[in-house]
Each structure stands twice: as C-alpha cells, then as structure tokens.
Structure 1
Amino acid sequence: MELPNALSPRSGAFRAAIVAFVDARREAKLKRDEKAGTAASRYDPDVWLADAARRAPQLQAATHVAKATHPDARGSNLHVAPDKLPQHAEIGSHSLGHAFAEDVVGAGALGVFKFLQLEVEGRRLLDWMLLGDEDLQHALHPDPAVARAWMAAFCALVREAGPPRSHGLAKQVYWLVGDDPSNDDDFHLLQPMFSSSLAQALHASVQEIFGDDAKAARQAKRDRAPHEGTFFEYRALAMRKLGGSKPQNISQLNSERGGNNLLLASLPPLWRELAGLSMFGQRSAIECLPRLAEVRTLLGRLVTCLRDAAGKTMETRIERERIERALGWQLPVFFEMVQARHEAGWTRSPLCELPLCEQLWLDPERTELPPREDSLEEDLAFNEAFASGHWADEVAERFSRWLNGSLRDHGITAVGDVEFRHWARQALVDVAWPMSMQRRASGKATA
C-alpha cells in the first residue's frame, strides 16, 4: 500500500485504517461470491469512499428506534445522549451516562456506519470528523474540497430528521392536558420510544454470564470450592425477536443482536422475605408460606371476608374469589423465591426433609442432572415421579390442608371437604409446564 507523499504520520495512520477496512470488505465479498472479481474496482479506497459519502444520507444515528415498536412504523427516530435526559431515580436510558452504544437506522447503508465506527487513537472516525480533524481530512482525499464534502456527508449521520412525528402503527397515548375531553385540541399525543441503547446495554450485561470467568465461578459454587471471582444470574428471562429474518431492517444494533431483545422478569419485589430461611431442616415448604407478607395479608382479608359473609352478597362473593385466586398464585411466587436461593439438585442433600411432592415441585432442575452412581436408583425414581406429574396434585392438597388449618386457627370452623377441594382448585402450580395449570385435588381432607 502506497500513501500520498504529503501525508503526515498521523494522517498516514488514518489512511492505513481506511484502506485496511476497504480491503477487508473486498476480500469478504470475493469469499462470498467468486464471480465478483469484476466488481473489485468498486473497492478502490477513493471509489468506495465516494460511494459511501453518497449513501451516508440514508443513515441516521439514533438512541431510540421507532421501528422496534412496529417494523412498518414511519415515525421519527430520536438521538438523545443519556446524560441529556431527565435524571430519574428509576433505571432507564438516562442511567447509561456517557458509556452508551449508538445505534443507526437505514438498512441500505449499514456498512457505512461500520466504517465510521473504526477507531484510531481511541476514537471513532465519526468522532474525529465531528471535531473537524484536519489530519483525517487529508487522509480522505488530496483535494480539500472533496474531503470536506465527504466529512460533511458523514457528519450528517447525527441529525434530527425534521420535526418529531408519530405514526399510526406506533404505540400512542392521547393525554388530556386541557379541561375539555370532548375537544381534540386539549389532548397531547405521547409516543413511548424503544431505547435501543438501553437494550444493547442489557444484552451486553447478560452476555457476560456466559464468559469463561463466570462459568468458573459458577462451577466453584457448585463444588463448594473457594473462588475469587463473581458472577451474576438473570432468572426467567424472555426473548423478543425484532425484524424476523431481516433484523437489519430495524437497526444496526438489532442486527448485531440477531434480532434478540431480552426482557427481564416482572416479579414482585419479595425476594428479601425469605432472607435467612433455608429449606434444609424444614418438614414442609407449604408451612413456610406465611413468611410472605402478601400471604399474611391475603389470609387476613379472607378471614374477614368469611366472617362477614353472612349476607352472602354478590360483592362479598366476588371479593372472596379474588382473594382465593391471589392466594393460589402465591405458590409460583414462592417457587421462584426458593429457586433464587438454591442450586439445582439441592434436594439430594440429606439435610432436605421435605416430602417428595414438595421436592419435585421446588427442585425440578434436579431431573436435568446426571444420576449419581451411588444413588442411581433414588435419582431415577425421582425423575420418574417428576414425569408422572402426580406431585402437583399432592402439592395442591397440601396447600388446601394448610389453608383449612389456618382458617380454623383464626376461628373459621365451617371448613371441611368442600372447602378443601375448592382451595385446591386455586393452587396454580407453575413449575413443570410453560403455562400455569390449574391442578384439581382428588383426595379427601384429613383432620
């Protein structure tokens, strides 16, 4: 590679990075298509740069992308640095500060953005262009007028594409700001925007848990061995795919993620309520339910409702049914909390005294572990019992028995077999199946 005679060492470094990038794209093109040799002239650095500057207006830098809401939405994309946003106490885009990933929209010219992301001396080419760096200008083209025009075209990437506008396919909220709901002019249109920069930060954080250091730390924890490293876990993640087979149509960062956008679990903040409580040494996990504040509250409301149900009005009946369903839903909540405190296979410990049905409920991942040679028969029996699914009915029965007993302790004596079967129908055991199932208990109540 020959550099123009007039280039300074610093301009030469810029030029070398540019030429290497264009050469790499030519080689990649030839590997994909051996018949593309006739198009090699397009990868002359000056020819490629001229074409890139021509295509640059197709791109727009963004932190919030409209098409992530709907692929056919034609609304505005926003570019707002996180430190320029209102600083709330809650986590949001503003939490990213100066360290944020910049996205870009414009599927036809994403290669241009990759070029502008090239780093020289710790900064992107785009950053140097925005600063008007003269050495980079000399490296782009010997004619200053041409180089300045190219730099202006590339710098236009960071721009506002006209006044903000929404679209019918975007999520919209009409917010009353005046006094007359019948007057359209008294409403303000709000459009929540998808923060691609925040989605990228979450994606990068989750990817760290699959690194070698995190794997070593997890293995040390399983082996109960000392380890200086740390690791994090994200439980119950969900995945939202954007863009289908063409994630680049949404944005550059979405394309780099393969269209995968993670969603964190939306669970009530009850994790601290089991602090200090271990399932080891417990004869029944169901008996530990009152440790949850929500369970205690719901139980108190149910007692009050049953005591005041003499009139048996429709209102009291509906309220009682709501409380019963809410109590049943505390079982999957309790399950998630136990999962957060115990590793898979914890029920193999001799310290675990829970009945088998509760072990199967609270330690389903044990079935994915290889059977132990010295406890082969026990582990295979555990797996077979889990696959049968009968344990869910038994857990529902134990829940019913506990609830009947708790009501009697509060002076509600008119509870028996009918109530037993009724409570069991509210026990939604969401463990072995992807969707919550309502399990019906078939047994009889016992004293």
Structure 2
Amino acid sequence: MKSTYAASPAAPDNSVADSDSPTFEAQTYAKVSRRIIPFLMLCYLGAYLDRVNVGFAKLQMLNDLRFSETIYGLGAGIFFLGYFLFEVPSNVILHKVGARTWLARIMLTWAVISASFIFVKSPTTFYVLRFLLGVAEAGFAPGVILYLTYWYPSARRAKALSIFFMAIPLAGILGGPLSGWIMHSLQGVMSLTGWKWLFLLEAVPSLLLGIVILFYLDNGIASAKWLTDAEKRLLARNVEGDNAHKSAHGSIGAFIGDRRLWLLAAIYFCVVLGQYGLTFWLPTIIRKAGVSDPLHVGLFTAIPYLCAIVALPLIGMSADRLRERRLHLAIPMLVSVAGFAMLPLLGSVGASITLLSIASAGILAASSQFWSLPTAMLGGVSAAAGIAAVNCFANLAGFFSPAIVGWLNDLTGKSTAGLIFISLAVTLGALLVFLVPAKSVNR
C-alpha cells in the first residue's frame, strides 16, 4: 500500500516488517491513547462540570431565588432541549470542518454562557441560560465519540471510550468537593453568594481548554506530526478495514428509516434518564440523608464517583477482550437499578452512600459501554449523523429525568416516586439491549 502521508519530522520511519508486528501495533495505539485520551477527558470533565454544577448551586440558589423543586427540575432539564435541536448539525459540521476548530468553538461558547449564570434572578432567565448552554455544548460528547472512530477500530474502541467517559466520575470526584468548598468558603465574598462564585469559577477551566484545543488537537491521522509514516499507515489501514463492515446510508430517508438507530436511541434514553437522575439529585439525596454543610455534601458525593471510576476501565477492558458488547451494557444497567431501587428503603448516610455508589458504578459504566454498539455498526458520514442522532434523541431523557423527578418530589413530598420511576426506566432499557443482534456489535 502506497502511503498518502507526508514524511513525519517527529521520528524516523519504521520498516514494513516492524509495522506488521503485534508489538508495533500495540505500541502505536498506546502512543495514540497517551496523546489524545487524557486531553479529551480533561475537556469533557470541564463540560460535565459546567453542565451539572447546577445540582450543587441548587442547595443555595433555590432559597435565595425562591425557586421550587419543579422550577429547578425544569431548568436543569431544559438544557437538553437546546442540546436536542443542535446536536446533529453540530456533528455533521465537525465531520466537515475538523474536530480542532469545532470542539474549540463549543468549549469557548459554553464557558461564557456558564459564567453568565451569576446574573440569574428569575425562572425565565434560568430557563433561557440553561437552554443556551445546551445549544452551546451540543455536539461535544458525540463529536468526541465520532473523533475516536477516526483513530480506533471497533475492537479497540470500548476501552478508549470507557477511559474517556471516566471524565464523568472524575467530575464528581473533583467537582463535588470543589463545588462544596466554593459555596462554603466564598459565600458573601465581594457581595456574591456562594452559588454565583460556583458558576463563575468553574467556567474558567473550559475557557482555557477551549483555547488549548486550537494548538494541541489534530483533526485526524493524516495531520498528526507526532506519528511516523508507518504508524499512520497502520492506523489508517485498521480504520479503513473496520469501516468496510459498517453501514453507510445513501439518503436521509434510509437513515431515518433505520430501525436500529431508533432501538439504540431508546436504549440510551433509558441510560441517560438514570444517569441524570443520579447526577442532578445526588447532592439533594445526600443532604436529605442528614448532611447539611455544602462542603460535607461535596465530599460525600465524591465517594460514588470513586467507585464508578474503578468500574469503567475494568468493564471496558473486559468487553474488548471478550469481544462481547450486550452483556457488558445490560448487566451494569441492572446493577444500577438495584442501587436506585433500594435507596428509599435505607435512609442513613452510610447506607445511602453505599447504594449511590452501586448505582453510580452501574449507570456510568453503562453510559460508556453503550457507545460500543453504534460505533460498531456505523461508519463515515453515517457515523457522524447516526451517533449525533442517537445521542440527540436519547438526551431528551436529560430533560424528562430532572423535570419528572422534580415534579414527583413536589407532588409526593418524597424522593421515593422519582427513584422508582428511574429504576423502571433503566430496567426497560436493559431488556431492550437484547434486541440488538449480537453479530452486528460483537467484534
């Protein structure tokens, strides 16, 4: 195969014999992973922190602004309406203009909007800014998922995705104590409440990382000057061979009519519903268990995410090693159901943290493992649109989850109904997993 890449100044080329060896291949993918995965994780950590810090701000904001649980739930969820409307076009644009420019645009925009929450005084302003934050952030997570398909074939992607999605529990581990400390320590400083400092300071990392992307990230294999020619040939050959087995729709009608996409969207809808049921209400659940100080709430929220960060890479490595995708998605979902369902039965702090840890490890592992399914089935432009479409429709659960749970909490005066609702939805999603043909994803 004749190389179409320019010679790399970073290192001398390798021999053809070396480039065909398993050791060379393993070393090449390790090199790629070291270069891009930690940085993308850091960016997603900033994204997730700015998306969900409203759950901590709620501990003070609702009293300060006299918002009800329903107002909070609707505002937390309306983020996903903006996300829904702009996600597919965002991924298609990324595929055309390149990841570096588009991901930087996404991060810089959402950082500015996130900081603007310090001006919230009414429900309307709260709703508008949450909607705009969703518009700004639309396309980042599916964009990164698409970007990883440019580098990794299906057989290597579950591990890469699981490591990338470790940013979610990392955001909980770091963001919980940080958010609690900001609200505890900066309350009243310069006449600003603690929740305003929270939005202002936690927007800074995303702003800085958005600038760094422009100088650090490569659009794909061909533009990576840190790879040798032999490494580029190996990576391109593996990706091209992997894409030969995937679907590529020739028309919009065929794309929309693909029942597999709707099944995948339904499964991920249930996963996301559980994920954001945990994320947006975790601080509240811990406070109701008997922890009142925001700093202590923040410290306790780190524990469930610590458990998740252990589970994610282990499940990802197991899925790649066994070339099995469905059970590695369905079982974590059912594990999370066990945690959610038992929460109303045990009210102590210790029991609540234990069950939240089980729920967190299960649902966040499921969130990463899900993406092994669509990325194994779709390639090219179909992957760009398909990944975004699945994520787009499924993330409407991010709207319904906090809105319905908030409404149920106000209606019943307890969190029991909301947790039962989440448990039933995630159970349904786990059952739907087995409608996906094993032969289409287990490779």
Specify if TM > 0.5. Answer: no
TM range (shorter): under 0.3
TM-score (norm 1): 0.22
TM-score (norm 2): 0.22
Larger Rg: 1
* Higher normalized helix content (fraction of residues): 2
* Higher normalized strand content (fraction of residues): 1
Larger RCO, structures 1/2 (Cα 8 Å, 6+ apart): 2
